[in-house]
Structure 1
Amino acid sequence: MDRAGAEIYRLPEECVAYAISLTTPADACHSSAVSPTFKAAADSDAVWSRFLPHDHAAVLARSDEPVDCESKKELFSRLCNRPVLLDDATMSFGLDRRSGAKCFMLSARALSIVWGDDPACWIWTTSVPGSRFPEVVELVNVCWLEITGKLSLSLLSPGTTYAAYLVFALADDSYGLECNVGILPPKATVTVVSGRKAMATTTSTEHTICLQHMQGEEEMVMHRRKQQYMRLRKDYGRKLLTREADPDIKCPRRRGDGWVEVEMGEFAVAGDAASGEDGVVEVSLKEVDCRRWKRGLIVQGIDIRPRHTS
């Protein structure tokens, strides 16, 4: 080891901690293996206080149960591994391990679901394995599917690009949710209203989603090809129509907790770390074609977390 390399081990722990705090949570963990001095600095509250959101204490004050941790590093790890429930289990709060950005999940109870209070259309179920929340809602019978969730932008981490995901499962007796030829799939819309009322700006994105064909399965190929279907004409004759499939349709994928998720869209949160951005993000799923009845969609909630490009 050269002289310059040896000198770094003589730096005061406070200086090492400050330097490590300017890196990332992953770098801080790796620094622990360098030397005892680096380990002490990398595990210190001075480092992990920089990685925790500045308003984490205010968010945790809304927790349904106390969150007791002996150190800031332990708290960071706890929020990455086991998000806490807030506001009577209508929302969960956690952290992204790579960036420390805040993650929120809206429970089914926090969503606006058309006919969600009608037991002939939807039923509420408790004690579902793997669910983050004590209740989920299951579709019994509707011909029109519409689900909407809203979250204040001030709760999210500034300068972060987020993606929203519908988290769900399908019952064994589900029907009417397939992306059949000739049936238009539902649309997912993400609308962001940012800024104060007098100067608020609105941005919106929309794309189609599929609820049944999993990513990686052969069935997904049908969404990438030209589709043909028959439609009745007004004179009761039949006409062969051609529809170009949407190459950007979002298909579901399996989560680590056993549930399924499908991306509903992405959005960016501007601002700086000192103050949250005014406004709200609204995420919705709406059907375009309501000609068929459907059953068996089990909704846990809408997950909003940072999007990673790699």
Structure 2
Amino acid sequence: MEMAMRGIDSLPEECVAHILSLTSPRDACRSSTLSSFFREAADSDQTWQKFLPSDYAEIVSRSVHAIEFSSMKDLFLKLSFTPLLIDGGRKTFSIDKHANKKCYMLSTKELSITWATNNLNWCRKTLLQSRFPESVELIMVSWLEIHGKIEARMLSSNTIYGAYLIFRLADRAFGLETLPSDVIVEVGDYKTQGSVYLKLGKELDQREVCERDDKWLEVELGEFYNVGCKNEVKMWLREIKGEHLKGGLVVEGIEIRPKR
């Protein structure tokens, strides 16, 4: 082992950095503990630029607030721990630190919500716990429909993604668990469909509402395999069969992230 280490140490740093860039961020961090030589290669911009998406500079340029970083590793870590608010506050971008893939969340301003412009049906709210300037709360409707879309080319190719509605239930919530809501994901000719009750822990069609680490709730709308095509990924949650009134649904957005 010692002889092998001496052999590797004799390689140019850029060569070792290239080798490490073919592994993973976790492996690069682990290798930095082997020796000072490995640490320099493992922390180099050459290594970490390979872990960033090829269009990272264009994505960062769309940030609402300037992001400061001292190195490519620093930028990767920031994007993997704190979602970047982009496109005028209508989306967030982050990197899944486990899968090393792109993640997006679409805000309510990026979604199509039936009757969202009617103040008698929906109201916009500023929440301290939200990553967006505004969320929306359902006051009262009988027809509930939330639709989002994103271009598949914006996501990492050759990756299985899941789409998730991120929401909360206000204390006054009513009518949301009377009937299950339909959840749909469609990409080109591919379509997946199921049903879910908007209630924590109540499972239907192997889908259930779960609590996240950030204290919001989420429910999976569906999954798809992204091949990097030019199609749009279309996502829905809707309950339009019942005529009863519903209210108290607080919507944060729709998140599209790799499945683990």
Identity among equivalent positions (%) equals 43
Query: Which residue is equivalent to 1:30?
Result: 30
Equivalent pairs, count? 260
Aligned residue in 2 for 1:234: none
Higher RCO, 1 vs 2 (CA within 8 Å, ≥6 residues apart): 1
Bigger mean CA offset, 285-294 vs 136-145: 285-294
Structure 1 CA distance for aligned equivalents of residues 22 and 224 of structure 2: 26
Contact 1:210 1:249 in 2 (8 A): no
Q: Quick one: which of 191, 198, 204 aligns to 1:204?
A: 191
The one-letter code sitting in structure 2 at the alignment partner of 1:59 is: I
Aligned equivalent of 1:303: 255
Partner SS for 1:46: helix
User: What is the identity, as a one-letter code, of the residue corresponding to 1:121?
Assistant: N
Deviates more, 1:9-18 or 1:130-139: 9-18
Query: Where do residues 218-257 of structure 1 align in structure 2 (5 Å cutoff)?
Result: 220=202, 223=203, 246=204, 248-257=205-214
**Alpha-carbon distance between aligned partners in 1 of 2:47 and 2:208, rounded to the nearest angstrom:** 39
State how far apart, in whole Å, the 2-side matches of 1:213 and 1:62 are.
35
Partner of 1:267: 224
TM-score, normalised on structure 2?
A: 0.96
Q: Give the corresponding residue for 1:95.
A: 95
Question: Residues 281-300 of structure 1: matches in 2 within 5 Å?
Answer: 281-300=233-252
The AA in structure 2 aligned to 1:260 is L
Contact 2:144 2:240 in 1 (8 A): no
Q: Give the deviation of 1:288 after TM superposition.
A: 4.8
**Number of the residue aligned with 1:132:** 131
AA aligned opposite 2:134 = E
In 1, distance between residues paired with 2:129 and 2:81?
14
Q: Are the equivalent residues in 2 in contact too, given 1:190–1:264 (CA < 8 A)?
A: yes
How far apart are 1:2 and its partner, in Å? 4.6
1:256 Cα offset (Å): 1.1
Greater CA drift, 140-149 or 5-14: 5-14
In structure 2, distance between residues paired with 1:299 and 1:203? 26
TM-fit CA distance, 1:3: 2.4
Cα offsets for 1:14-39 (capped at 9, x unmatched): 11111100001111111111111111
Question: 1:114-149 deviations in whole A, cap 9, x for unaligned?
Answer: 1111010000011x1321101000000001110000
Taking the aligned partners of 2:239 and 2:101, their CA distance within structure 1 comes to 32
1:26 aligns to what SS in structure 2?
helix
Instruction: Look up the match of 1:151.
Output: 150
Write out aligned runs for 1:100-179 (5 A).
100-126=100-126, 128-178=127-177
Larger radius of gyration: 1
TM-score in terms of structure 1 length: 0.81
CA distance in 2 between partners of 1:100 and 1:136 (Å):
28
Alignment pair present for 1:81 and 2:81: yes
Q: Look up the equivalent residue of 1:208 and give its one-letter code.
A: S
Please list the CA deviations of residues 174-231 of structure 1 after superposition, one character each: whole Å capped at 9, or x if unmatched.
11112x4xx3x111000112xxxxxxxx2111011121132xxxxx3xx5xxxxxxxx
CA distance in 2, matches of 1:254, 1:33: 36
Structure 1 residues 114 and 190, CA, compared in 2 at 3 Å: closer, same or farther?
same
Aligned partner letter, 2:236: S
One-letter code of the match for 1:192? V
CA distance, structure 2, for counterparts of residue 129 and residue 212 of structure 1: 23
Give the 3-state SS of the residue equivalent to 1:283 in structure 2. strand
Distance 1:256 1:213 in 2: 14
- Give the secondary structure class of the aligned counterpart of 1:88: helix
Whether the aligned pair in 1 keeps the contact of 2:175 and 2:246 (CA below 8 Å) is yes
Cα shift readout 1:217-250 (whole Å, capped 9, x = no counterpart): xxx3xx5xxxxxxxxxxxxxxxxxxxxxx5x241
Distance in 1, matches of 2:200 and 2:82, equals 29
- Once the two structures are TM-superposed, the CA of residue 89 in structure 1 deviates from its matched residue by 0.6
Q: Give the letter aligned to residue 296 of structure 1.
A: G
Task: Determine the structure 2 residue equivalent to 1:19.
Answer: 19
**Alignment RMSD (CA, Å):** 1.3
Aligned mates of 1:258, 1:213 — CA distance in 2: 12
1:302 aligned partner, one-letter code: I
